[in-house]
C-alpha cells in the first residue's frame, strides 16, 4: 500500500472533487456527494500520514471556491441574443493559428483559440475571461498573430455542439477585421522567430514529398502537429482503426522525444541526473513549435516536473509529477476539468501508471526486447480500457480495434520520430531520412488497411450515465490498488461488469 501514499495525489484528488462539486452540483445535493465518495476514499489512501478531516475540508473548499470564482457574474454572462450578430471582441491568442485550405488556390480558414476578455455589443462592454474558438477566413500567406499576443477582432458568435458540451466560436470574415498590437514587444519578435523555425522544419520534412504527399502529411502531423496536409481518407483510416491520437501531439510524442534525446545525451556521456538542464528547454521549445496545443503543454508539464526533481536533489516520482501538473492547471483554469482532452490526458496516464505498478514485478521477469513488448502490450491495454468508455461518453461511439492497431503502430512510430529528428538535425541528409520515413509510414498504412478488412464492431451509446463512468473507473482503481485476495477480485470484477451494463 505504500506505493499509493503520495500526498500530492491525494491533494489533487480532493481539490478536483471540490471543483466538480462547485461546477456541477446543486446546493444540498446529497446524491452528488455520494458521487464523490470514491474520490475521497482514494485521496485518503494517497495522503498517508497527513490524514486530517480539517485538511480534507480545506482542500475541498479550495476547489469549490476556485471554480465559483471563475464564474462570470450576472452582468457579465454571454448575452442570449448574441448568436449570429456582428460584435467586437478583445482577447489574447492561445495557440498557433492553423490553416485549412479549401482548394489549391490558397484560400481557406485559419483556426485558433483565444481567451476573450472584453465583448463589445450595443454600446456595452462585458467582462468574460472565457476561451473561444476563432475561425478566420483568409489566405495561406496572411500575417496572423502569434500566441499570447493581444488582438481585437470583429465577427459573429456561433456555437458548436458535441455529445456532452458546447464550444463558443467566433467567425471572422477576413484578416482585415483583426487588429494586432501596435507595439512590437520582445515576445512577439521571439515568437515570430520561432514561427520561422517551425516553417523551416516543415520545409525540411517536405524535402522529398513529391508523389508521397499523404506520407509527408502524416510525418508532419506526427512531428509538428500540422494536420492540414493529412488527406480525409487517411484521417478516416486512422480514426476507424483507433489511431487518430498519433496526429495529436501529446504524451506519446513527448515521451518519444525524451527517449530519443536521452539516447543522444547518453552517447555523449551526460548523466541522467543532469539531463534535465538540456531536456527542459527542448520540451518548452517543442511545445511552442508544435503549436502550443493544450495536450502538448500538459504532457510537457508532467515531464518537466519529473525532470526538475533530480536538479533540486529530490527523488523523481511520476505519480506526484502528474498530480502536481493537474493541480497547477486546474488552479489556473478550473473549467478545463470537463474538457474531453484534459480528461483523456490525465485519466489515461493515471491508469497506465496504475497498471504498470500492479504488474511491475511480472514485467521485470522479462529482459531486453521481451520486456519492451510486454510493457507495450500492457500500456496499450491500459490506454484502451481507459479510453473506450470515455469515447462512448463524450462522442457516443467506440471500437476495440485500437488495441490491435496500436500494438503495431506505436513501435513503428518510434522509428518514424527517430528518423524525422535525424532529418531535422542533419538537413543535408534529409532526403535519405525522409524517404526512410515514407517507407515506414507505408508499412503502417498496409497494416491498418489489413486490419480494416476485419469485421470490426463499433459500439454505439445514446447516453452514458456519468455515474456508470465513475463506477467503471472506481472498480478498475479498486482492482489495481486494493484487490489482493480472490474475494477482492470477484467483488471488483462484479462492480466493473455492473458499470459496463449501464455504459453499453
- Say what the pLDDT of residue 26 is: 53
Assign domain 74-183 to a CATH class: mainly beta
pLDDT of res. 137: 92
Q: For residue 115, what pLDDT is reported?
A: 87
Asked whether the predicted pLDDT for residue 384 surpasses 90, the reply is: no
Max avg pLDDT among 14-18, 146-150, 180-184, 444-448: 444-448
Question: Does residue 440 surpass a pLDDT of 90?
Answer: yes
Average pLDDT of the chain is: 80
Q: Which long-range contacts link 379-386 to residues 24+ away (Cβ below 8 Å)? A: 379/352, 379/355, 380/406, 380/407, 380/410, 381/355, 382/348, 382/351, 382/352, 382/354, 382/355, 382/356, 383/348, 383/351, 383/352, 384/242, 385/351, 385/476, 386/347, 386/348, 386/351, 386/352, 386/473, 386/476
Q: Does the pLDDT value for residue 431 go beyond 80?
A: yes
Closest CA relative to residue 43, chosen from 390, 351, 359, 477? 477
What is the Cα–Cα distance from 403 to 384, expressed in whole angstroms? Answer: 6
Q: Which residue did the predictor score with more confidence, 254 or 28?
A: 254
* % of the chain exceeding 90 in pLDDT: 5
Its pTM stands at: 0.77
Mean pLDDT check: name the lowest of 2-6, 60-64, 495-499.
Answer: 2-6
pLDDT in the model for residue 442? 93
**pLDDT value at residue 136:** 93
C-beta separation of 298 from 348 below 8 A: no
The pLDDT confidence band at residue 79, using thresholds 50, 70 and 90, is low
Q: What is the pLDDT of residue 1?
A: 39
Residue extents of the structural domains in the chain: 2-69, 74-183, 466-503
For the segment 199-232, what is each residue's pLDDT rounded down to a tens digit?
888 888 876 666 788 888 899 888 888 887 888 8
- Give residue-wise pLDDT tens across range 20-70: 777 766 544 445 555 556 666 666 666 655 556 667 777 777 777 777 776
Q: At residue 350, does pLDDT exceed 80?
A: yes
Q: According to the model, what pLDDT value does residue 359 have?
A: 87
Q: Output the pLDDT for position 439.
A: 93
Q: Residue 456: its pLDDT value, please?
A: 65
CA dist 248 and 293 (Å) reads 9
Amino acid at each position: 500500500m505504500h506505493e499509493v501514499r503520495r500526498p500530492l495525489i491525494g491533494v489533487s484528488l480532493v481539490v478536483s472533487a471540490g471543483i466538480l462539486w462547485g461546477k456541477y452540483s446543486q446546493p444540498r445535493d446529497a446524491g452528488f456527494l455520494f458521487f464523490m465518495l470514491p474520490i475521497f476514499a482514494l485521496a485518503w489512501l494517497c495522503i498517508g500520514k497527513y490524514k486530517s478531516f480539517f485538511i480534507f475540508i480545506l482542500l475541498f473548499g479550495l476547489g469549490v471556491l476556485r471554480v465559483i470564482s471563475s464564474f462570470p457574474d450576472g452582468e457579465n454572462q454571454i448575452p442570449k441574443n448574441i448568436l449570429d450578430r456582428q460584435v467586437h471582441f478583445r482577447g489574447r491568442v492561445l495557440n498557433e493559428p492553423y490553416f485549412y485550405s479549401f482548394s489549391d488556390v490558397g484560400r481557406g480558414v485559419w483556426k485558433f483559440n483565444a481567451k476573450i476578455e472584453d465583448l463589445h455589443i450595443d454600446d456595452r462592454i462585458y467582462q468574460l475571461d472565457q476561451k473561444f474558438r476563432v475561425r478566420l477566413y483568409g489566405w495561406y500567406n496572411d500575417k496572423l498573430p502569434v500566441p499570447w499576443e493581444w488582438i481585437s477582432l470583429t465577427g459573429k458568435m456561433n456555437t458548436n455542439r458535441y455529445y456532452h458540451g458546447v464550444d463558443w466560436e467566433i467567425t471572422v470574415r477576413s484578416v482585415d477585421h483583426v487588429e494586432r498590437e501596435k507595439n512590437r514587444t520582445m515576445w512577439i519578435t521571439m515568437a515570430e522567430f520561432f514561427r520561422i523555425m517551425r516553417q523551416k522544419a516543415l520545409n525540411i520534412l517536405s524535402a522529398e514529398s513529391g508523389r508521397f504527399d499523404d506520407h509527408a502529411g502524416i510525418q508532419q502531423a506526427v512531428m509538428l502537429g500540422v494536420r492540414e496536409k493529412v488527406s480525409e481518407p487517411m484521417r478516416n483510416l486512422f480514426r476507424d482503426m483507433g489511431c487518430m491520437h498519433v496526429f495529436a501531439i501529446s504524451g506519446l510524442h513527448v515521451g518519444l522525444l525524451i527517449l530519443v534525446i536521452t539516447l543522444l545525451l547518453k552517447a555523449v556521456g551526460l548523466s541522467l541526473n543532469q539531463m534535465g538542464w538540456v531536456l527542459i528547454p527542448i520540451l518548452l521549445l517543442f511545445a511552442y513549435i508544435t503549436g502550443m496545443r493544450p495536450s502538448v503543454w500538459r504532457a510537457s508539464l508532467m515531464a518537466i516536473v519529473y525532470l526538475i526533481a533530480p536538479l533540486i536533489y529530490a527523488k523523481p516520482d511520476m505519480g506526484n509529477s502528474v498530480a502536481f501538473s493537474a493541480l497547477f492547471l486546474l488552479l489556473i483554469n478550473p473549467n478545463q476539468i470537463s474538457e474531453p482532452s484534459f480528461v483523456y490526458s490525465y485519466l489515461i496516464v493515471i491508469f497506465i501508471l496504475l497498471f504498470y505498478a500492479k504488474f511491475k514485478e511480472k514485467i521485470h521477469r522479462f529482459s531486453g526486447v521481451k520486456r519492451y513488448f510486454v510493457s507495450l502490450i500492457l500500456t496499450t491495454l491500459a490506454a484502451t480500457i481507459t479510453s473506450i468508455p470515455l469515447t462512448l461518453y463524450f462522442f457516443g461511439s467506440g471500437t476495440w480495434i485500437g488495441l490491435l492497431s496500436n500494438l503495431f503502430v506505436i513501435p513503428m512510430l518510434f522509428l518514424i520520430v527517430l528518423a524525422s529528428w535525424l532529418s531535422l538535425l542533419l538537413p543535408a541528409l534529409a532526403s535519405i531520412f525522409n524517404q526512410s520515413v515514407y517507407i515506414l509510414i507505408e508499412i503502417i498504412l498496409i497494416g491498418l488497411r489489413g486490419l480494416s478488412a476485419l469485421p470490426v464492431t463499433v459500439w454505439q451509446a445514446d447516453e452514458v450515465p456519468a455515474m456508470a463512468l465513475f463506477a467503471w473507473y472506481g472498480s478498475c482503481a479498486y482492482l489495481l490498488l486494493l484487490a489482493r485476495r480472490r474475494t477482492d477480485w470477484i467483488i471488483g470484477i462484479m462492480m466493473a461488469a455492473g458499470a459496463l451494463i449501464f455504459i453499453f
